[in-house]
Structure 1
Amino acid sequence: MSEVRLAAEARTEFGKGAARRTRRAGKIPAVLYGHGSDPKHLALPALEFARVVREHGQNAVLTLEIESSTELALTKTVTTHPIKNYIEHVDLLLVQRGEKVAVEVPIVITGDAVPGTLVTQDLTTIEVSVEALHIPEQFEVSIEGAEAGTQITAADVPLPAGAELVTDGEALVLAVNVAQSATGASDEGEGGESAAESSED
């Protein structure tokens, strides 16, 4: 994942009223913490930060330009408004080059299982420990040609070199099952209704 530079301003006002004023000014309230340092209250440019999240995901690593200094930070938590969907607040974790961090990385399923099966995905992310400047945007898991009974656990997800699995390796990511329509076909009599259809009455 590439590093992104972003200008940030120190905030001296706090509370809900101050946060609203920050957002009205086109900025996002943020807190930078980590490595035993005192939390720094910042304001990030809203449009630029939203673009960073859109292009690099919620694990984006930022080089923050704060007045005359720079800080390397991992985007830890992005809080969005539940209805209006704008970013309300951001938590940033101070990191150092070469340091490993624990992050949740999305899992993307590719390919198609054999016909007559149903794929259920239990986990959409897994947690890994990885170098801060080499966080993958996603992990791809192929189910091309997978048959009923196939199960993929967290330990089966291919990780890049240097990444270590934090999630329990036995945690189920997905399972390929026989589709209900396939198992229920034999229960349908001539000219009768299937179990799924009759249950609608």
Structure 2
Amino acid sequence: MSEKKAATGLTNKIEAELRTSFGKGVARKLRSAGKVPAVVYGHGTEPRHVSLPAHEVSLLLRKANAILDLQIEGDSQLALVKDVQKDPLRQIIEHIDLIVLRKGERVEVDVAVHVEGEPAAGTTAELDSKSITIEALAVSIPERVTVNVDDLEAGAHIYAKDIELPEGAVLVTDAETLVVAINVPAEQDLGDEPETEAVEGEGEEPAADEAAE
């Protein structure tokens, strides 16, 4: 993917083959052949089951909120990656759900928050919300939004409403949602001196009859 495409959210063309056979056995054969089963649905259209080239898809999915330009029997169909199912052990993509997009359509998506910069000496920036929800043009979805904490003092708070969004994007998350807080790290609790268990009889006054012996 070129840097320009990554920056602008432009889609990526990928060949998609329609399939009419289903089931776990068919899915295994597809994966063995280097393909991934997927379904495309939305906007009242009939779901279309397709297979996609596994290697190309895995590269595209490195980008959050990936949009694919599916080439299906000569037609182009924009689709947003909705869900990716992976084998929990091998992390192999087993199935993908794709949502049909229309040109000019706006969609709601969760976008990761990236913190950059260094706050004032002796403080740390704590990320309270790892992502925010925005509404944006389907072809202009940012991969992330950035929060700069350079030289911010302890007690400073950055809320969702303070984050600069890409042109045309609208905040959906509650504006007062705390995203980043600048705090002074709590002093390391060294704990109390370790207690020692008294050895039976240690430190006790001898009984009168023992003292007389």
Tell me, yes or no, whether TM beats 0.5.
Answer: yes
- What whole-Å deviation, never above 9, does each CA across 1:44-72 have from its counterpart, x for those lacking one? 10000111122xx1312211111232211
Provide the rounded CA distance (Å) in 2 between the counterparts of 1:89 and 1:122. Answer: 32
Q: Tell me the residue number matched to 2:141.
A: 135
What SS does the aligned partner of 2:136 have? strand
- Aligned residue in 2 for 1:107: 113
Determine the C-alpha separation between the residues in 1 that align with 2:99 and 2:151: 41
Matched, 1:20 2:28: yes
Give the corresponding residue for 2:18: 10
User: Which of these residues, 64, 70, 84, is aligned with residue 58 of structure 1?
Assistant: 64
- Using the TM superposition, name which of 108-117 and 70-79 deviates more: 70-79
State yes or no: 1:29 paired with 2:22.
no
Identity of aligned residues (%): 44
- Match of 2:161, SS state, is helix
Q: 1:197 aligns with which of 173, 190, 197?
A: 190
Gaps of 5+ in 1: 182-194
CA distance in 1, matches of 2:176, 2:193: 38
Separation in 2, partners of 1:175, 1:16:
47
Structure 2 residue ranges without an equivalent (≥5) = 1-8, 195-213
The aligned counterpart of 1:150 is 156
| Letter paired with 1:44 | L
Indicate yes or no: 2:184 matched with 1:178: yes
Structure ID, larger Rg? 2
Number of residue equivalences = 186
1:91 aligned residue (88, 97, 118):
97
1:99 partner amino acid: E
Q: CA deviation at 1:121?
A: 1.0
SS at match of 2:27: helix
**Deviation of 1:89 (Å):** 1.6
Give 2:165's aligned residue: 159
Counterparts of 1:140 and 1:111 in 2: how far apart (Å)?
10
- RMSD over aligned Cα, in angstroms? 1.7
Distance in 1, matches of 2:100 and 2:64, equals 15
Q: Alignment partner of 1:18: what SS?
A: helix
Q: State the alpha-carbon separation in 1 of the partners of residues 42 and 192 from structure 2.
A: 56
| TM-score relative to the length of structure 2 | 0.82
Asked if 1 retains the 8 angstrom alpha-carbon contact of 2:116 and 2:147, the reply is: yes
For each residue in 1:71-130, what CA deviation from the matched residue of structure 2 results, as whole angstroms up to 9, or x when unmatched?
Answer: 111112222222212222211110111110111111110001112113221211111110
Residue 158 of structure 1: how far off its partner (Å): 0.6
Q: Of the candidates 81, 85, 97, which is equivalent to residue 87 of structure 2?
A: 81
Q: Please say if residues 125 and 149 of structure 2, whose CA atoms lie closer than 8 Å, have aligned partners that are also in contact.
A: no
Task: Flag the 1:21–1:58 CA change in 2: closer, same or farther, 3 A.
Answer: farther
Please give the secondary structure, in 1, of the residue aligned with 2:189.
Answer: helix
Question: CA shift at 1:200, angstroms?
Answer: 10
Of 146-155 and 78-87, the range deviating more from structure 2: 78-87
